[in-house]
Chain A
Amino acid sequence: MKTIKVGLGTCGISAGGQLVYNKLVEEIKTKNLEVELKETGCMGMCYEEVLVEVEEDNGTFLYSKVTPERASKIVTEHIINNAPVKEWIVKSDEVNKEEDFLKNQNRIVLRNCGIIDPTSIDEYIAQNGYKAIQTVLKNSTPIDIVDQIIKSGLRGRGGGGFSTGMKWKFAHMEKADKKYIICNADEGDPGAFMDRSVLEGDPHSVLEGMMIAGYAIGSDEAYIYCRAEYPLAIKRLKNAIAQCEERGYLGKNIFGSGFSFKIKIKEGAGAFVCGEETALMASIEGKRGVPRLRPPFPANKGLWGKPTNINNVETFANVPWIINNGWDKYAALGTEKSKGTKVFALAGKINHSGLAEVPMGMTINEIVYGIGGGIKNGKKFKAVQMGGPSGGCIPASMGDLKIDYDEITRTGAIMGSGGMIVLDETTCMVDLARYFLNFTQNESCGKCTFCRIGTKRMLEILERITEGNGKESDIDLLIDLAQKIKNGSLCGLGQTAPNPVLTTLQYFREEYEAHIRDKKCPAHNCAALIEYCIDPDLCTGCGVCARECSSNAITGKKKEAYYLDTALCSKCGKCFEVCKFDAVIKN
């Protein structure tokens, strides 16, 4: 029997996956076909959504950019007449249009994403799911497990990069009547979506990782703190937990081992700082999510004052694989101090936007040009932004840098959670720094003066620079404030908030200077520093821009070159976007 799988992660659904799925249901029903229709998670190739895979005796065939109409045709040609629709296939035994994207990937965390049906516990089990926890419960003592995780070299994927095994060890050594496990699924870094894809595409792997951690540190209760902006992830988690409870994989005396464990979900309420571990725990306790001083560390005094081990989604998803395949296999991947693989969320000005899991130590260029397929619209690669609001911009000239925790830190950026935003020549670095400062300034919880007011002052300076009112002394002032905010803040939010400014100043100082001295934005991005005009030679006189313009700044006659009156122009950029002939120009 043939099987059809439709990628229904949030990305697939927003690209129209549900419509395709519904169409397939209808076709299968009306044509009375013997086909199994399934949903699956994100396959990572978000740029090719909607993805539909047909599995049959002759192999598997992956179709990209499927619409409901295309789905009907796939049913008639492929399912009924056994003639695959070659032109839409991106991957099969014969065709591999996705070779560049796939060949250097090594899927450990994403091992099941896009392959299994995330709503089915049986499919997870069929991929060796819940085997690791059984092995652990049967054959290992908690300290054995801690030891294996230490030796695997796994480091926290939530941003800090602390040794996961060591963290477990600290929590393990605490003596207490109650200990907690927390899974940090707050994924606050804007531009990152690794955790979402794992939760949506393979929720059981995260649950299994948490169970193993629970056994290792001696905890019987866990929370998953998931951001409310991820409704589908929450739904899939709830479903997965219910399935586990039904089978007795969660609850009392799991697999007859005497080990008991339960997992609850807490929905975040929209505050970036709640991704910070102490703020997160305050939030679970029902308070304002304000960080507190460490020590005491969560391993000693965490949730409700009890020893608590907190890890990121991706960290947990690695654990069952390490147990099943051996710590040495994991440690064999990566660089000297960063082992294993890392999932990167590629987005921004890149052709192949999506998720890529690669061994640590791959270079930026290999990811951007190889896996990512280069820059959109043939533009020039300028930089990658890593680590979100806590990170920085690494210029294209450093493209041969090997990505691991320590190398990235040396550039002034941080590995962060794995968001990788690719920037091209049209991105203004001053504007980007302003963007991030606006973000951190909004999200500062307000506890520390320098973080609360210092970021506000930095933002004001950046705003005036992008508006063409920057002063010669502004750059020094920014650097001075940056140092003070770093030193005067209690949690990671403030300590790292100046990084986007510092790295752009380090690598793109001349852009700041052009804004300040010449009142020019070299990337033609900052509205106050550019003017729009229409090139009469390129204008075909179609009149679309004039119709779009809400300031009545564009006039002209059909089939003749139009004219843009800069005095009336509000610089909204609509005309620039709608012109099909590149006749609207920014100066």
Chain B
Amino acid sequence: MAEIKNPDIENIAEFKQDLINKRLQSGSLIPLLQSAQDSYGYIPEKIIHYISELVGIPAAEIYGVITFYSQFRLKPLGKNLIRICEGTACHVNGAKSILTVLQDELGISVGETTDDGVFTLQSVACLGCCSLAPVIMVNNDTHGNLNHDKIKRIIKKYKSDQKVRVA
């Protein structure tokens, strides 16, 4: 996961530099938003206004684009992003009960972040690993053939990794 920065003025400068490095010109609104999200973990309001100036598209329209695509977030993410697949193969193989366990373990529902900021839970239409259904993706790692035990073990592992990092 990208390290999350504070969107203050300084970082906007950094973001600008990033855009220059990536040679993103105007007209490519979605890649601009994607790199904003890469740098900040979400799309801060300040950045929307900055991009608006850059590409000459009204902020309201950019907001429309952001909310249209499920990839974009207007709120910061937890340190670990858990995406649970709600695709057809996962659905018929018990994704719902996996979701119940996940929600119980984390104490949050889909779309929320835990109070300590360690986990965000999201749902996704299909991860393309349907042969291993039910599937979740934690950050960029896919975990398949899940059952209740396995889910608990995975969550435990990320929780303890987190503690180690803090210590």
Contacts and interface: CB of A to CB of B under 8 A. Distances in A.
Between A190, A229, A388, the greatest number of chain B beta carbons within 10 A of the residue's beta carbon is seen for: A190
A102 to B, nearest CB: 16
Interface of B: 27-31, 33-34, 55, 64-65, 68-72, 86-89, 91-94, 97, 100-101, 104, 124-133, 135, 140-145, 147-148
Given A286-B29, A349-B93, A578-B148, 5 more contacts: A192-B128, A349-B92, A388-B88, A435-B91, A445-B68
For chain B, what secondary structure do more than half of its interface residues adopt (helix, strand, loop), or is it mixed? mixed
A196 B104 CA distance: 32
Contacts of A47: 131
A231 B130 CA distance: 16
A574 interface: yes
A353 interface: yes
A432 B96 CA distance: 13
Contacts of B27: 285-286
A481 interface: no
A103 interface: no
Contact of B133 (A10, A347, A388, A423): A347
A46 B100 CA distance: 27
Interface residues of A, number: 59
A388 B147 CA distance: 25
Contacts of B133: 347-348, 353
A10 B142 contact: yes
B131 A193 contact: yes
A190 B88 contact: yes
B68 A432 contact: no
A577 B130 contact: no
A503 to B, nearest CB: 14
B6 to A, nearest CB: 24
Contact of B125 (A188, A349, A577, A578): A188
Contact of A14 (B33, B69, B97, B129): B129
A421 B126 contact: no
A283 B104 contact: no
Interface stretch (A24-32, A265-273, A295-303, A485-493): A265-273
A229 B88 contact: no
A348 B88 contact: yes
A343 to B, nearest CB: 13
A271 B125 CA distance: 9
A10 B141 CA distance: 9
A14 B34 contact: no
B30 A577 contact: no
Between B88, B133, B141, the greatest number of chain A beta carbons within 10 A of the residue's beta carbon is seen for: B88
Contacts of B147: 577
B131 A289 contact: no
A346 interface: yes
Contact of B30 (A11, A196, A286): A286
Interface in A181-198: 187-193, 196
Given A348-B92, A427-B92, A191 B68 contact: no
A401 to B, nearest CB: 20
Contacts of A191: 87-89, 126, 130
Contacts of A283: 30
Contact of B144 (A14, A266, A269, A271): A14
A196 to B, nearest CB: 4
B88 A421 contact: yes
B138 to A, nearest CB: 11
Contacts of B100: 572-574
Between B27, B31, B33, B68, the greatest number of chain A beta carbons within 10 A of the residue's beta carbon is seen for: B68
Given A271-B68, A349-B93, A190 B126 contact: yes
B132 A271 contact: no
A448 B134 CA distance: 34
A548 interface: yes
A190 B65 CA distance: 23
Given A283-B30, A348-B89, A423-B92, A14 B143 contact: yes
Contacts of A435: 88, 91
A70 to B, nearest CB: 17
A508 interface: no
Contacts of A285: 27
B97 A574 contact: yes
B71 A193 contact: no
A13 interface: yes
Contacts of B145: 15
B92 A193 contact: no
B88 A385 contact: yes
B148 A271 contact: no
A289 B68 contact: yes
Nearest to B142: A14
A288 interface: yes
Contacts of A432: 91-92
Contacts of A267: 30-31, 34
A353 B68 contact: no
Contacts of A548: 148
Given A14-B143, A349-B92, A269 B30 contact: yes
Given A269-B30, A287-B65, A550-B104, A229 B128 contact: yes
Contact of A572 (B97, B127, B140): B97
Given A191-B87, A287-B65, A577-B147, A13 B142 contact: yes
Contacts of B131: 11, 46-47, 193, 345-347, 353-354
Contacts of B141: 14
Contact of B88 (A13, A271, A419): A419
A269 B87 contact: no
B2 to A, nearest CB: 13
Contacts of A345: 130-131
B104 A270 contact: no
A430 B133 CA distance: 21
A388 B129 CA distance: 15
A85 to B, nearest CB: 23
A348 to B, nearest CB: 5
B68 A192 contact: no
Contacts of B126: 188-193, 229
B65 to A, nearest CB: 5
Contacts of B130: 191-193, 345, 347, 353, 419, 421
18 contacts: A14-B129, A14-B132, A15-B145, A47-B131, A190-B89, A192-B126, A230-B128, A267-B31, A269-B69, A270-B69, A286-B27, A347-B130, A348-B88, A385-B88, A427-B92, A432-B91, A550-B104, A573-B100
In the A-B complex, the 7 residue pairs with the smallest Cβ-Cβ separation, listed nearest first, are: A190-B87, A46-B131, A269-B69, A191-B88, A286-B29, A190-B126, A14-B142
A255 interface: no
A193 B128 contact: yes
Contacts of B124: 229, 270
Nearest to A424: B92
Given A572-B100, A574-B148, A272 B125 contact: yes
